[in-house]
Amino acid sequence: MTETASPTLEDFEKSVLEFLDSNAELRSEEHVEWGKGSDSVALFPEKSPEEERCDVETAQSWRRQIFDAGFGWITGPTEYGGGGLPSSYQARYNSLEKRYRTPSQGPLGIGLGMVAPTILAHGTDLAKDLYLRGMWRGDIVGCQLFSEPSAGSDLASIQTRAVRDGDEWVLNGQKVWTSGAQFSDIGEIITRTDPDAPKHKGLTMFVVDMHAPGVEVRPLRQMTGGASFNEVFFNDVRVPDHHRLGDVNGGWTVALTTLMNERAAIGDTGAGIIGVNRTFEMLMALGSMHREDPIARQQLADLYVNMKAASFTSQRALAKIRAGQLPGPEMSIAKLSLTRNLQRIAAFVSHVLGPKLTADTGEWGTYAWTEVVLGTPGMRVAGGTDEVMKNIIGERVLGLPKEPTLAR
Ligand SMILES: Cc1cc2nc3c(=O)[nH]c(=O)nc-3n(C[C@H](O)[C@H](O)[C@H](O)COP(=O)(O)OP(=O)(O)OC[C@H]3O[C@@H](n4cnc5c(N)ncnc54)[C@H](O)[C@@H]3O)c2cc1C
Which SS3 state, helix, strand or coil, does residue 239 take? strand
Cβ–ligand 1 distance for 177 under 6 Å, the answer yes
Residues 378/44, Cβ–Cβ less than 8 Å: yes
What is the average pLDDT value for the chain, to the nearest integer?
Answer: 91
**Catalytic center residues:** 262
| Atom from ligand 1 closest to the CA of residue 44 | 1
Instruction: Among 177, 190, 217, say which to mutate for ligand 1: greatest number of ligand atoms within 8 Å of CB.
Output: 177
Residue nearest to ligand 1 atom 39, measured at CA: 388
Q: State which amino acid sits at residue 17.
A: L
Cβ–ligand 1 distance for 45 under 6 Å, the answer no
Residues 357/303, Cβ–Cβ less than 8 Å: no
Task: Evaluate if residue 193 carries a pLDDT over 90.
Answer: yes
Of 140, 230, 111, nearest to 182 by C-alpha is 230
In whole angstroms, give the CA distance from residue 213 to residue 2: 39
- pLDDT tens-place string over residues 109-152: 999 999 999 999 999 999 999 999 999 999 999 999 999 999 99
Alpha helices in 200-250 (DSSP H): none
Cβ–ligand 1 distance for 178 under 6 Å, the answer yes
Task: Evaluate if residue 1 carries a pLDDT over 50.
Answer: no
- pLDDT tens-place string over residues 252-292: 999 999 988 887 666 555 545 554 478 888 999 999 999 99
Cβ–ligand 1 distance for 377 under 6 Å, the answer no
Task: Evaluate if residue 2 carries a pLDDT over 50.
Answer: no
More confident residue, 338 or 68: 68
pTM for the model: 0.92
- pLDDT tens-place string over residues 141-192: 999 999 999 999 999 999 999 999 999 999 999 999 999 999 999 999 999 9
User: What pLDDT sits at residue 406?
Assistant: 63
Of 307, 337, 327, nearest to 396 by C-alpha is 327
| Atom from ligand 1 closest to the CA of residue 181 | 8
Cβ–ligand 1 distance for 146 under 6 Å, the answer yes
Helical pair 370-381 and 330-353, crossing angle rounded to 10 deg: 160
Cβ–ligand 1 distance for 229 under 6 Å, the answer yes
Residues 7/18, Cβ–Cβ less than 8 Å: no
Q: What distance in angstroms lies between residue 153's CA and the mean position of ligand 1's atoms?
A: 5
Q: What distance in angstroms lies between residue 353's CA and the mean position of ligand 1's atoms?
A: 30
In whole angstroms, give the CA distance from residue 246 to residue 123: 7
Instruction: Among 153, 155, 205, say which to mutate for ligand 1: greatest number of ligand atoms within 8 Å of CB.
Output: 153
Burial of 97 (0-12, 13-18, 19+ CB in 10 A): middle
Cβ–ligand 1 distance for 12 under 6 Å, the answer no
User: What pLDDT sits at residue 315?
Assistant: 80
Q: State which amino acid sits at residue 207.
A: V
Residue nearest to ligand 1 atom 21, measured at CA: 152
Of 142, 230, 183, nearest to 53 by C-alpha is 183
Q: What angle do CA 208, 52, 382 make, to 5 degrees?
A: 60
Instruction: Among 191, 269, 273, 385, say which to mutate for ligand 1: greatest number of ligand atoms within 8 Å of CB.
Output: 385
Q: How far is CA 269 from CA 223, 264, 311, 314, 367, in A?
A: 22, 9, 11, 10, 24
Q: What distance in angstroms lies between residue 338's CA and the mean position of ligand 1's atoms?
A: 16
Bridge partners of 206, per DSSP, are 189, 244
- pLDDT tens-place string over residues 311-368: 888 788 777 776 767 667 778 888 899 899 999 999 999 999 999 999 999 999 999 9
Cβ–ligand 1 distance for 144 under 6 Å, the answer yes
Cβ–ligand 1 distance for 60 under 6 Å, the answer no
Task: Evaluate if residue 51 carries a pLDDT over 80.
Answer: yes
User: What pLDDT sits at residue 225?
Assistant: 82
Q: What distance in angstroms lies between residue 169's CA and the mean position of ligand 1's atoms?
A: 28
What is the biggest distance separating any 2 CA atoms in the chain, rounded to whole angstroms?
Answer: 73
Residue nearest to ligand 1 atom 18, measured at CA: 152
User: What pLDDT sits at residue 67?
Assistant: 98
% residues pLDDT > 70 (the chain): 93
> Lowest-pLDDT range, 102-111, 246-255, 353-362, 398-407?
398-407
Cβ–ligand 1 distance for 193 under 6 Å, the answer no
Q: Which domains does the chain have, with CATH numbers?
A: 142-249 (2.40.110.10), 274-397 (1.20.140.10)
Q: What distance in angstroms lies between residue 87's CA and the mean position of ligand 1's atoms?
A: 32
